[in-house]
Structure 1
């Protein structure tokens, strides 16, 4: 797994309302766009050709599969905060405060007695 590149995706998208909106509306198209034109940017003048997403990473991002991302070693906080940005309001209206966070924790219960995957890059 390219933990760096997945974490860069989570960090970048979570902090840009336009990116987050585009990711919510059309994840497949946005992930492809991000990987081709946004992710490789190092700064305004330089681009990297070193990093790319694996097929599994790409699919997990397209599917909003935060459990798979966690299991692949995506940074826990970046993973959680981005999907809170996507799911918090709908869950709040349905089930009250911290509803999505509780679901996130419930879906990761099988990790309760295991060591968390390393987030080391």
Structure 2
């Protein structure tokens, strides 16, 4: 498990509107593509390097592929990264202003302080 890799995925997807759209439409394919083709390149790793920190755990991969931000939060994904990315992906699916943000807060409401370690 690499919290850094998971957070890097969230950060890089969120910074490119085309990737945000791709991740919304094909989450499983986007996660697989990013993990196999982008992770090492973005992190400036030698092509031959294949350490475990360049791969998502099964739990991370599943949570990313299912847009499961409560599980991502539990796994240590930075809450600002999940919030900004998922706002970009889903806020237009809600009719009321701030409706997605309220849904996000509701789904994370069962978490108590201290939050999971979000250090990278």
Is TM more than 0.5 here?
yes
Normalised by the size of structure 2, how large is the TM-score? 0.89
Partner of 2:78: 75
Normalised by the size of structure 1, how large is the TM-score? 0.88
- Quote the Cα distance in structure 2 between the aligned partners of 1:8 and 1:28: 17
Structure 1, unmatched stretches of 5+, are: none
- Quote the Cα distance in structure 2 between the aligned partners of 1:5 and 1:32: 13
1:13 corresponds to 2:13: yes
The runs of 4+ residues in structure 1 deviating greater than 4 Å are 43-48
- Quote the Cα distance in structure 2 between the aligned partners of 1:59 and 1:43: 22
RMSD: 1.8
- Quote the Cα distance in structure 2 between the aligned partners of 1:85 and 1:65: 15
Cα deviation, residue 49, structure 1: 3.1
Partner of 2:117: 118
